[in-house]
Structure formats: structure tokens, C-alpha cells
Amino acid sequence: MMQSSSVIDLLGRPLGVLRLSLTARCNLACPYCCPDSVEPQGLLSTLDQLRLIHSACALGVHTLRLTGGEPLLTDRLWPLLEALSVGRATPGHPLSRLKDLAITTNGSLLDDAKAQQLRALGVDRITISLDAVDAESIARMAGLRRGAEAGLELFKRVLAGIDAARAAGYEPDQGALKLNAVIQRGRNDDQLIPLARLARQQRMELRLIEYMDVGNRNGWCLDQVMPATEMIQILHSHWPLQPIGRQPGGTSSQWLYQDGEGSIATIASITEPFCSDCNRLRITADGQAFTCLFASEGIDLRRWLRMDVSDSELAEVMTQLWTGRSDRFSEDRGLMQVGNHHAEMAYLGG
């Protein structure tokens, strides 16, 4: 089953990153992501997850990102990490090809014990999501019903989570701890400077994400998208920036603060699509494989996870899935009909 190089899709894009969702549930209800929190039926077992990761690594995956929902909300995280840790440390094992293991969390459940455990089990990077600094704005973006009071409580928990991650050895200066923020015009665009100021104080890279048309119930419209170029212009007027660019296969374009106080990045899926070198495969908590974040439906892999199906058969199915891939929705967005059905963000794992 081991292969010497990545499988290539119809547009010449190699498989490199696997985003595996552990749960569709979340303790927040951000309207752009998770209008409700419903777990799908038929969740993958730890063995199922490992078989999929093994096959993906044999086909060229070098980076695994664990997502949700909120991955820290499920106890299924820990046995998976334990098994990954053993495999990555075993020479010749498919998992030894896994060079980067990351997790995305809203940070509210990240305490000292969990951060230390993540570190001990080999998680290399943590990305924490926070869409505002002002308490009322936090509550609005997180879907919290108690307003500013709940927003302030969440903000304090996220800051405590950042402190816990740093204490566990996740160094922002080494790219091991980053901050994500979705910016939606008319809802939290006034938080752009406060978020950047917070990230600078915390020495964390802030990744500003354009509001995306993922899902069907978030009320997305183009007028609510603040283009990445506009965000950078606003920030540049406060703190001059120097462009670095985007790494091949990466999702973010980067800038350095000219005063030496770290960096900032933008993820511009709407206005500056990066489909041409997208190398990401997404698998949901119930085993649906999506080759595009904006896809309407996935391919159910569970039938190939039965015990009577060999690992080589599973790898062949995943190979066919990737080599037959030609999607580039963001580049084609202007040619698509309005109202296309998309899977929900919390289900896909972002």
C-alpha cells in the first residue's frame, strides 16, 4: 500500500492535507458555521479513523488537521491521538510520514490539562478561533443568547486557553499557536483593529478569513464579504505591512509587520481563490469524503471500512476519489447558479 509520492488529481494537484472532523457538535452556535449542532448518525470508530489516515498517508498526505464542530468536545479525540502518537514514532509505519498534526478549536474548552495532553500526544500546532474582542460582538458572532455577559465569559475562557497552550509549549513565534477570525461586513468588521491589536499583544499570527458561502442556512450574500485586500489596507494604515505571499498549497497569504511585531495572514476564498493548488481532502465524522469545501455532497467511505475490506482496497478507492477530482468551486463561483446546495460548515469541519 505504501507509495513513493502523492496521488495527483485531474488538474495536477497532489494530495497533501487531510482534514478529519471528529464531531459536528459545538458548544457555540456561530451563525456563519453552525446554525444548529446535530451529530450525524454512524460516526466513525477510532479504528475507522486510523484506517483512513493510514491510507491517506500512504497516498501522500503529510499534514493532518483535526476539526469539528469542536474537537475538544468529544472524548473520541484522545484515543485517536494516542494511536497516532505510536504510529508516528514507529519507523516504516504509514503514520511516520505524518510531518504535521494540528487541531482547530474555539479555545473555550482548552485548559492546562488538555493543552499538556495535546502536547504529550504529539499535536504540533493549535489554531484558536475568535471573531471579536468586544463582548457584545463576541456574543453575536458566537450565537450566544445572553449577550455581552456571555461574550465576556467566552473571551476570558479563550484567553485562558491561549495561556494554557503557551504554557504547554505551543510557541506563537514558531507558528505553533495561531488565531483565526472570520470577518463579516456589517457584523464584526469593526473588530478588525482590536483583533489585530490582541494578536500582536499575544505574539500570535492572526488569520483573517473572508465570510464564505459554505452551507445553506447562514444567509450568505456577497455584500457581507469584506475582501482581504480591504482588510489589509485598513491594517496597513495602522501598522505598515510588508507582503510575504502564499506558500504553494497553502490557504493564507502572509504579511509581516514592519515594526517587527509578528505577522498577519488572510484567507481569501471568495476574492482570491486558490483552487489551482488545493491539496486538501476532507472527511466528516461519519465518513463522507469531500474533495472541496464548497461541494454539495461527499462519497460515503464507510462501506470500505468493513473488516472484510482490505487496506489495499480502501487505498484504491481513495486513490480513485482523488485522481478523478477536478473541482475548483471558488474559481468557478461566478459561473455557478445562485442557490447551489452546499454541505454545512460544522459538518464538513471547515
What residues are paired with 103 via a beta bridge? 66, 126
Q: Is the pLDDT of residue 336 over 60?
A: no
Residue 333's pLDDT is what? 67
Q: What is the mean pLDDT of residues 201-224?
A: 85
> Per residue in 11-32, pLDDT tens?
999 999 999 999 999 999 998 8
Check: CB of residue 195 under 8 Å from CB of residue 132. Answer: yes
6, part of any domain: no
Q: What is the band of 340 on the pLDDT scale with cuts at 50, 70, 90?
A: low
Q: Is the pLDDT of residue 48 over 70?
A: yes
Cell numbers describing residue 47: 479504528
Please give the Cα distance from 292 to 272 (Å, whole number): 16
Percent of the chain with pLDDT over 70: 93
2, part of any domain: no
Give me the numbers of helices (H) and strands (E) for the chain, helices first please. Answer: 10, 12
> Per residue in 188-203, pLDDT tens?
999 999 999 999 999 9
Strands 253-257 and 263-267: antiparallel
131, part of any domain: yes
CATH of residue 195: 3.20.20.70
Q: What is the mean pLDDT of residues 75-93?
A: 97
48, part of any domain: yes
Count the domains in the chain.
Answer: 1
Check: CB of residue 323 under 8 Å from CB of residue 7. Answer: yes
Check: CB of residue 16 under 8 Å from CB of residue 63. Answer: yes
8, part of any domain: no
> Exposed/middle/buried for 44, CB within 10 Å: 0-12, 13-18, 19+?
buried
> Per residue in 285-301, pLDDT tens?
999 999 998 888 899 99
32, part of any domain: yes
Whose CA is closest to 140, among 336, 148, 50, 307? 148
11, part of any domain: no
Q: Is the pLDDT of residue 349 over 80?
A: no
The residue segments making up the domain with residue 292 are: 17-348
Q: What is the band of 213 on the pLDDT scale with cuts at 50, 70, 90?
A: confident
Q: Is the pLDDT of residue 102 over 50?
A: yes
238, part of any domain: yes
